[in-house]
């Protein structure tokens, strides 16, 4: 027998909503392919996926887990992704290097919407994907109703490939619509081939015709065959499905129950026959033809003992330990099995490898020996924009330097996190995708870097201004011992239009205040404006210096600066100070069945609706534009998600400052004074 070239590994990424059963499916796939002797369970906390302590504790995936296995001699890499929308960045990054995505969902028509964002991402990037409808063991739903709901959220036609065989209330097997063979499920084993039961015959014929008609939309020959009433061969149908899947034209749908290994081998077979090779995925990424090795980094982790680890897929060529890629030397080369690295010497195109200590390299980077990426390379998608934030502080003040290092690494690991120092409130703010996302990040900082943090709702950067003008005299005179201090000025304080900021006008004539002291006057004013009569930064004021006097010996920069402060603190309270609150322009995106609810949310949060329209490129979604006070945005994402099955989102940017008066203003001012006193 001729030597067979080793096949290049293919990568299937498991995605889908939280709790749909992805981690359980990974376990079933690994057990069915012999990579692990027996299945772990989520309950027992011994699955290959969810290896992070933060996952085990919450029984929830918070990061991807990579597993290698072999199925009928073909090497496979399965990547289990977190389902929560708050950890979507992890899933997106893994999908970018996938050959195929398996979208795992529950057989619940009302939950169909939860897969909409992931399907949109897959279609935007032309990533081939199939649906695995899990938990069929506890479903009484009619598959055709389910399909209808799922189709409503998929741009691409869904192609149902199996119909269930029902045995009373439960499902005992399925009929494969291409081969027209029936199988009876057996726990933890391959299913038994059986005769198609009479009860399933009519439904099978009907579903098969629907499948063929849907496929015929993409193939004239098949269409002709159907019109002439000739049966296409099984091989032709499989070939058609494979081509259409690989082109992201259709979405095949398989049924099963991962917990009981139902449908798992059928899924494996579909993957084996229909998943494109890495070369096709490389082309999708813009890496075409032959040439030097190309690796794409899709995850970065900082492990406590081993240092930085970059997970990369080899899109072309091969790579090995010790090689120099894009200027960095690979030191440590491994496969991963959940959290466990397994040393490798070399790896070929298609493989997913952990590269040790690639210090300058970050997620999304393309690595090549020459350091130059291929010409046609497609850009890495932009990181998700933050929708939730918390102010954070090291419990121990001495840890502040350590904290900024730890935060930099966390952001490097997860580009959907951000850290900002707010110059108005002086808070360090951690921004991310939701409450759990940030709490998990804070927990990780504690466990990885032994750093305890406290977190709180970030303060809103209120400002204040004035509504009236005044003229004010400010005089600083002190005679103590030898050298005295003398500064004396007259200023006019005036409100400015919103958004004008601060203006200083020098109207001194005849040297009433000597030239060299005038900058100190301005400095004294600017200093004062950091904290006005209400306790906030003052904006939109004009201060004109129009008169003053000096003393030949006692006048100094300090003395004029102090005089300016005195003038301001006496003058400003007479100018009718008023609180200003930041108003943001907010764009909320939701499926249009929820648009009216969103409008109520906006008005309930003192917002002002500007209008709404269909969201470009999103079938069935609306975008609502509004102006909303920043103080009401803190938990907006939580409410939006709770009314939209988790899929609604928003973006915002500062728009303008608006006067705030009445009870709300009194409360803000009172809180600020209390904070200043404590």
Binding partner selected for residue 504 from Mg ion, ligand GDP, none, CB under the kind-specific 5 to 8 Å limit: none
Which one of Mg ion, ligand GDP, none is in contact with 135 (Cβ closer than 5 to 8 A by kind)? ligand GDP
| CB closer to Mg ion out of 25 and 564 | 25
Select 84 or 246, whichever has its Cβ closest to ligand GDP.
84
- Angstrom distance (rounded) from CA 136 to CA 174: 11
- CB-wise, 22 or 437, nearer to Mg ion? 22
Handedness of CA 169, 175, 181, 187 (dihedral sign): negative
- Write down the least CB distance from residue 313 to ligand GDP, Å: 22
Closer to ligand GDP by Cβ: residue 56 or 125: 56
Measured distance CA(27)–CA(15) in Å, rounded: 14
Whose Cβ is closer to ligand GDP: residue 19's or residue 588's? 19
Q: CB–CB of 549/511 below 8 Å?
A: no
Is 87 exposed, middle or buried, given 0-12, 13-18 or 19+ CB atoms closer than 10 A? buried
| 258 interacts with, out of ligand GDP, Mg ion, none, CB within 5 to 8 A per kind | ligand GDP
Could you tell me which stretch among 257-265, 345-353, 545-553, 620-628 binds ligand GDP (CB under 6 A)? 257-265
CA 435/CA 413 separation, integer angstroms: 18
Q: Please, what is the minimum distance in Å from the beta carbon of residue 332 to Mg ion?
A: 27
The secondary structure of 412-468, three-state, reads HHCCCCEEEECCCCCCEEEEECCHHHHHHHHHHHHHHHCCCEEEECCCCCCEEEECC
Structure tokens at 147: 């399909």
Taken in order 245, 246, 247, 248, the sign of the CA dihedral is: positive
- Helix count (H) and strand count (E) of the chain? 17, 35
- From 145, 67, 158, select the one nearest 108 (Cα to Cα): 145
Q: CB of 63 within 8 A of CB of 87?
A: yes
When binding is defined by CB under 6 A, the residue of 200, 257, 314, 355 that contacts ligand GDP is 257
Q: Shortest distance, CB of residue 78 to ligand GDP, whole angstroms? A: 12
Residue 93 engages ligand GDP in binding (rule: CB under 6 A): no
Residue placing its CB nearer to ligand GDP in the complex, 32 or 580: 32
Smallest separation (angstroms) from ligand GDP to the CB of 646: 13
The mark string for 102-131 relative to ligand GDP (x by CB under 6 A, - otherwise) is: --x---------------------------
Binder of residue 137, out of ligand GDP, Mg ion, none (CB less than 5 to 8 A by kind):
ligand GDP
Does 139 contact ligand GDP by CB under 6 A? no
Shortest Cβ distance from residue 611 to Mg ion (Å)? 39
Residue nearer to Mg ion on the CB measure, 15 or 271: 15
Least spacing, CB of residue 250 vs ligand GDP, in Å = 24
Q: Which of 10, 111, 120, 135 binds ligand GDP (CB under 6 A)?
A: 135
Residues 598, 590 contacting (CB under 8 angstroms): yes
Only segment of 55-63, 175-183, 357-365, 453-461 that touches Mg ion (CB under 5 A): 55-63
Q: Which CB sits closer to ligand GDP, 23 or 300?
A: 23
Instruction: Find the part of the chain contacting ligand GDP (CB under 6 A) among 13-21, 154-162, 361-369, 538-546.
Output: 13-21
Q: Which residue from 464, 534, 535, 474 is spatially nearest to 502, judged by alpha carbons?
A: 464
Question: Is residue 632 close enough to count as binding ligand GDP by CB under 6 A?
Answer: no
The nearest distance, CB 89 to Mg ion, in angstroms, is 15
Dihedral (CA of 613, 616, 620, 622) sign:
negative
| Binding of residue 537 to ligand GDP (CB under 6 A) | no
Q: Is 61 in the site for Mg ion (CB under 5 A)?
A: yes
Q: What part of residues 15-54 is at the interface with ligand GDP (CB under 6 A)?
A: 18-24, 42
Token code pair at residue 2: 């001729």
Rounded CA separation 324/330 (Å): 6
**Cβ closest to Mg ion, residue 87 vs residue 388:** 87
CA distances from 132 to 165, 264, 277, 541 (A): 17, 9, 21, 62
What DSSP line would sit under 372-404, residue for residue?
PPPTTPPPPPPPPPP-EEEEEEESSGGGHHHHH
Q: Are 86 and 434 in contact (CB under 8 A)?
A: yes
DSSP result, 500-535: --EEEEE---TTSS-GGGHHHHHHHHHHHHTS-TTS
Query: Which of 71, 69, 76 minimizes the C-alpha distance to 100?
Result: 76
20 binds Mg ion (CB under 5 A): no
Query: Comparing C-alpha atoms, which of 229, 116, 150 is closest to residue 617?
Result: 116
Nearer to ligand GDP, 22 or 208 (CB): 22
* Cβ at position 589, least distance to ligand GDP in Å: 24
Q: Does 51 interact with Mg ion (rule: CB under 5 A)?
A: no
| Closest distance of CB 91 from Mg ion, Å | 11
Question: Between 123 and 137, whose beta carbon lies closer to ligand GDP?
Answer: 137
Q: Which residue has the tokens 């897959």?
A: 122
Instruction: For residue 486, give the nearest of 475, 495, 502 by alpha carbon.
Output: 475
Asked whether 531 and 492 are in contact (CB, 8 A), the reply is: no
Distance (Å, rounded) from C-alpha 355 to C-alpha 351?
A: 12
**Nearest CA-CA partner of 369 in 415, 434, 324:** 324
Exactly one of 8, 11, 20, 23 binds Mg ion (CB under 5 A); that residue is: 23
Please report whether residue 61 would count as binding ligand GDP according to CB under 6 A: yes
**Which residue number, 22 or 111, has a Cβ lying nearer to Mg ion?**
22
Q: How many residues bind ligand GDP (CB under 6 A)?
A: 18
Where on the chain is the footprint of ligand GDP (CB under 6 A)?
18-24, 42, 61, 83, 104, 134-135, 137-138, 257-259
Where on the chain is the footprint of Mg ion (CB under 5 A)?
22-23, 61
């Amino acid at each position: 027998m001729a030597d067979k070239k080793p096949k290049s590994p293919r990568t299937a990424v498991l995605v889908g909503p939280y709790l749909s059963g992805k981690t359980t499916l990974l376990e079933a796939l690994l057990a069915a392919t012999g990579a692990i002797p027996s299945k772990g369970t989520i309950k027992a906390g011994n699955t290959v996926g969810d290896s992070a302590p933060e996952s085990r504790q919450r029984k929830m995936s918070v990061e991807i887990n990579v597993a290698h296995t072999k199925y009928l001699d073909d090497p496979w890499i399965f990547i289990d992704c977190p389902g929560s929308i708050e950890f979507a960045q992890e899933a997106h990054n893994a999908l970018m290097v996938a050959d195929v995505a398996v979208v795992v969902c529950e057989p619940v028509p009302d939950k169909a919407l939860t897969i909409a964002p992931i399907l949109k991402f897959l279609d935007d990037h032309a990533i081939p994907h199939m649906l695995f409808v899990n938990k069929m063991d506890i479903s009484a739903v009619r598959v055709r109703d389910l399909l209808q709901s799922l189709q409503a959220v998929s741009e691409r036609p869904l192609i149902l490939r199996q119909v269930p065989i029902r045995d009373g209330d439960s499902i005992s097997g399925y009929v494969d619509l291409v081969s027209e063979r029936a199988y009876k499920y057996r726990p933890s084993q391959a299913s038994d081939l059986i005769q198609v039961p009479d009860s399933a015959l009519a439904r099978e014929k009907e579903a098969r015709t629907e499948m063929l008609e849907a496929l015929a939309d993409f193939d004239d020959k098949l269409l002709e065959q159907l019109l002439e009433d000739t049966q296409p061969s099984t091989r032709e149908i499989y070939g058609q499905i494979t081509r259409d899947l690989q082109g992201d034209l259709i979405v095949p749908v398989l049924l099963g129950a991962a917990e009981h290994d139902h449908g798992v081998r059928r899924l494996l077979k579909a993957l084996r026959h229909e998943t494109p090779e890495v070369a096709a995925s490389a082309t999708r990424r813009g890496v075409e033809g032959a040439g030097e090795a190309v690796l794409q980094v899709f995850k970065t982790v900082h492990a406590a003992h081993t240092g930085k680890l970059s997970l990369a897929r080899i899109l072309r060529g091969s790579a090995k330990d010790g090689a120099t890629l894009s200027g960095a030397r690979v030191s440590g080369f491994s496969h991963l099995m959940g959290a466990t690295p397994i040393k490798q010497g070399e790896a070929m195109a298609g493989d997913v490898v952990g590269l040790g200590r690639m210090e300058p390299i970050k997620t999304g980077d393309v690595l090549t020996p020459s350091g130059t990426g291929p010409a046609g390379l497609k850009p890495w998608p932009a990181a998700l924009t933050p929708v939730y934030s918390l102010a954070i502080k090291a419990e121990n003040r001495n840890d502040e330097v350590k904290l900024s290092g730890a935060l930099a690494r966390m952001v490097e690991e997860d580009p959907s996190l951000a850290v900002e120092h707010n110059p108005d409130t002086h808070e360090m703010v951690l921004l991310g995708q939701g409450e759990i996302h940030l709490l998990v990040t804070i927990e990780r900082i504690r466990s990885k870097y032994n750093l305890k943090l406290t977190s709180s709702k970030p303060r809103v950067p209120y400002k204040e201004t004035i509504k009236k003008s005044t003229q004010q005299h400010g005089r600083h005179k002190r005679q103590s011992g030898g050298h005295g201090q003398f500064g004396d000025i007259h200023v006019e304080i005036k409100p400015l239009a919103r958004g004008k900021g601060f203006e200083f006008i020098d109207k001194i004539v005849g040297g009433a205040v000597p030239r060299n002291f005038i900058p100190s006057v301005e400095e004294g004013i600017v200093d004062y404006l950091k904290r006005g009569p209400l306790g906030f930064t003052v904006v939109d004021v004009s201060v004109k210096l129009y008169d003053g006097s000096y003393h030949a010996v006692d006048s100094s920069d300090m003395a004029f600066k102090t005089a300016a402060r005195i003038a301001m603190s006496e003058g400003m309270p007479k100018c009718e100070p008023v609180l200003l609150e930041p108003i943001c322009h907010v764009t909320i995106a939701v499926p249009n069945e929820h648009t009216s609810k969103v409008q109520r949310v906006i008005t309930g949060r003192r917002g002002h609706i500007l209008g709404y329209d269909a969201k470009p490129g999103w079938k069935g979604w609306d975008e609502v534009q509004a102006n909303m006070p920043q103080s009401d945005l803190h938990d907006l994402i939580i409410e939006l998600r709770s009314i939209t099955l988790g899929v609604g989102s928003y973006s915002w940017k500062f728009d303008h400052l608006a006067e705030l008066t009445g009870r709300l203003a009194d409360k803000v001012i009172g809180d600020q004074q209390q904070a200043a006193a404590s």
